[in-house]
Structure 1
Amino acid sequence: MTDTPARLLSLLSLLQTPREWPGSELAQRLRVSARTIRRDIERLRDLGYPVEATLGSEGGYRLVAGAAMPPLLLDDEEAVAIAVGLRAGAGHAIEGVEEASVRALAKLEQVLPSRLRHRVSALQSATIALTRGDGPSVDPGTLTVMASAVAGPERLRFAYRAGDGAESRRLVEPYRLVSTGSRWYLVAYDLEREDWRTFRVDRVSEAFATGARFAARALPMDAEEFVRRGLGPRGAERYVVEVAFAAGAAELPEWLRSGALPGGGGEGETSVRFESADAPEWVAARLALTGLPFTVREPASLVSAAAALAARLTAAAAP
């Protein structure tokens, strides 16, 4: 292999397999001399790839963890697997990793060949992800289009359905994607209304970047704070929830486990306390979806919401 850049990429692809490669085997695979392999290893090191060499009859080369992660080379199957996994995760707001997942998905899908995009879409449409059901699902394609437009930055067009069902078409300058842990929001400057707006991503359809670049405007506050204020009084007023579960702490979902009170509850019971800014009806439904028996202790508004939900479900199940 006489093309040096192509040979370096092939060598890097081999080294990213988690094993130790004897120099003679690398030379045989790439059809070059052992001396050329040594020179190419030095070139990779100069580019920031931490290649470690071991001596002896069983020695060889392997790629180790460094101070920064170098670019990865993926084969077709690996790229498809990662894209499908990121799509599944990005479709639901997973607290802690959601924004990084969308950024990674946007980067990966930007460079995927068309044949691999088709495979990803086919596999995605043929599978169903079993999720907790504690937030509306969104189209990963919409998220990646928005993330790319934010990074561009490019103006974005989409159809939007408001909470009252009103349909509209929007032309915006996207600023940030924000996840609350249960929903995705787009913070953007609405060009027709000449003001900043917050859009729920699960209500967006037909999103596409127009290709028109723009100079980013300065949002008057932090994007997270802007979304919080846009949620209305519930976004500004948090309240304390205390619930007793007839289950051990280990049986609780992860989002509740951190609020478990030490020694709280009787035998076989776990008390949980956490803050929420969501509507009591939403919190009651989310607690019910745990599938565990529970009793709401406070606040009174959540007690009423849980009772109303129980009554509606009982009536729906009646013959």
Structure 2
Amino acid sequence: MPPKSLAKLKKTTAEPPVARGLAAKAARPPLVRMVRIHEALTAEKYPNCSTMARDLEVTTKTIQRDIEFMRDQLALPIEYEPVERGYYYAASVAQFPMVTVSQGELVALLVAQKAVEQYKGTPFERPLNAAFDKLVSSLGEEENISLHELSEAVSFRTTGVPHGQIATFEVLADAVMKHQRVEFDYISMTAKTSERRSVEPYHLPCIGNQWYLIGYDRNRNGIRTFALPRIQGARNLGKTFEKPEDFSVADMLEGSFSAFQAGKTETVRLSFTQAVARLVEERQWHKSQKIRTMPGGKLELSMKVGIAPDLIAWILGWGGEVEVLDPLSLREKVRKTGQEIAGKNF
């Protein structure tokens, strides 16, 4: 049977645009052209590049590329008939090949699209939406309608989303893939001015909605972690390097609570009040965590991590609902930071 008509494909674009890249993008121009070519082939009209280019108001080269894509990438049996001066299907084609996804895959695709929304208003928004549009454009009509309906049921709300640095990300990603050295100006959290760094980039992790670069800092003679928003003027030097075979991001961040590289790890024990016990229990904060219910509805969380600023900030975020039991050094750091906060606000 021929595919659903172009009119039906266009129907999805009339749906309310809940999110860019969903139903409103059901019929991208390349897909529409190829569906029209398929319909002409199925009707045995022997279409050629000139007639289809005129009907679709594009160039003959565009139609030629579409036909080559349909034949080479979609494996459609398109042949040219010299007598008819047009193309035809050399074998029966039931329907135009569309990407078919299960309900679970559809939900996963939706979640991915919703997660992209947190970058709205940043330089990452346009390339992320473009990539998602390409994925959705390959879905059939039913999948697009279902995706639109599901989008009403799921949403993301994030705070503290970092400003995107798409140009910096592109330079660093290219250097990571090609194993090429980079240079950039970097300002650390405590510094007042930036410093020029020469780095052999190893990896680009996204931790807590923040992008980082992990690499060998030639200025510091050691592996360091750099936050992308604090990187300026990054450029690829085009000089290749050999990444150590034993380098592992998992091993490097083994004892980290979040993004800060930890040296010595210690067993951290925290006591949470009954008021937040359930909130703490519902999430995995670290893969080494262990949870124990205490008398009075309290909860004890223990994990083996390094003592770093991100851990201290997380503990302080619970306010008076948490108490540091061990180690004493961490308890003292939290107490001192708490006093500093109180002194500035009272």
TM-score norm. by structure 2 comes to 0.50
**Which residue is 1:63 aligned to?**
99
Q: In 1, distance between residues paired with 2:97 and 2:270?
A: 56
- CA shift in 2, pair 1:278/1:149, >3 Å: same
Q: In 2, distance between residues paired with 1:194 and 1:314?
A: 36
Paired residue total: 239
- Confirm or deny: 8 A CA contact 2:268 2:304 kept in the other structure: yes
Q: In 1, distance between residues paired with 2:199 and 2:340?
A: 40
Is 2:339 the counterpart of 1:311? yes
**Which residue is 2:36 aligned to?**
30
Q: In 1, distance between residues paired with 2:205 and 2:321?
A: 33
Deviation at 1:162, TM superposition (A): 4.7
Is 2:205 the counterpart of 1:207? no
Q: In 2, distance between residues paired with 1:83 and 1:248?
A: 26
- CA shift in 2, pair 1:202/1:248, >3 Å: same
- CA shift in 2, pair 1:317/1:82, >3 Å: closer
Q: In 1, distance between residues paired with 2:252 and 2:232?
A: 23
- Confirm or deny: 8 A CA contact 1:158 1:204 kept in the other structure: no
* 2:240 alignment partner AA: A
Q: In 2, distance between residues paired with 1:303 and 1:255?
A: 22
Deviation at 1:238, TM superposition (A): 0.6
Corresponding residue SS for 2:307: coil
Deviation at 1:179, TM superposition (A): 5.8
**Which residue is 1:278 aligned to?**
307
Q: Deviations over 1:1-59 (max 9, x none)?
A: xxxxxx9xx99x99x979xx9xxxx899626337269xx98876539xxxxxxx9xxx9
Q: In 2, distance between residues paired with 1:65 and 1:217?
A: 41
Question: Unpaired runs of 5+ in structure 2?
Answer: 1-5, 14-21, 45-66, 77-93, 135-156
Deviation at 1:227, TM superposition (A): 5.0
Question: Unpaired runs of 5+ in structure 1?
Answer: 1-6, 48-54, 70-77, 92-100, 112-127
Corresponding residue SS for 1:276: strand
Is 2:267 the counterpart of 1:261? no
Q: In 2, distance between residues paired with 1:306 and 1:161?
A: 26
**Which residue is 1:119 aligned to?**
none
* 1:261 alignment partner AA: I
**Which residue is 1:73 aligned to?**
none
Q: In 2, distance between residues paired with 1:183 and 1:42?
A: 40
- CA shift in 2, pair 1:256/1:269, >3 Å: farther
Structure number, greater radius of gyration: 2
Q: State how 1:44-83 maps to structure 2 within 5 Å.
A: 46=75, 63-65=99-101
Corresponding residue SS for 1:301: helix
**Which residue is 1:245 aligned to?**
272
- CA shift in 2, pair 1:198/1:169, >3 Å: same
- Confirm or deny: 8 A CA contact 1:172 1:189 kept in the other structure: yes
Q: In 2, distance between residues paired with 1:17 and 1:174?
A: 39
TM-score norm. by structure 1 comes to 0.53
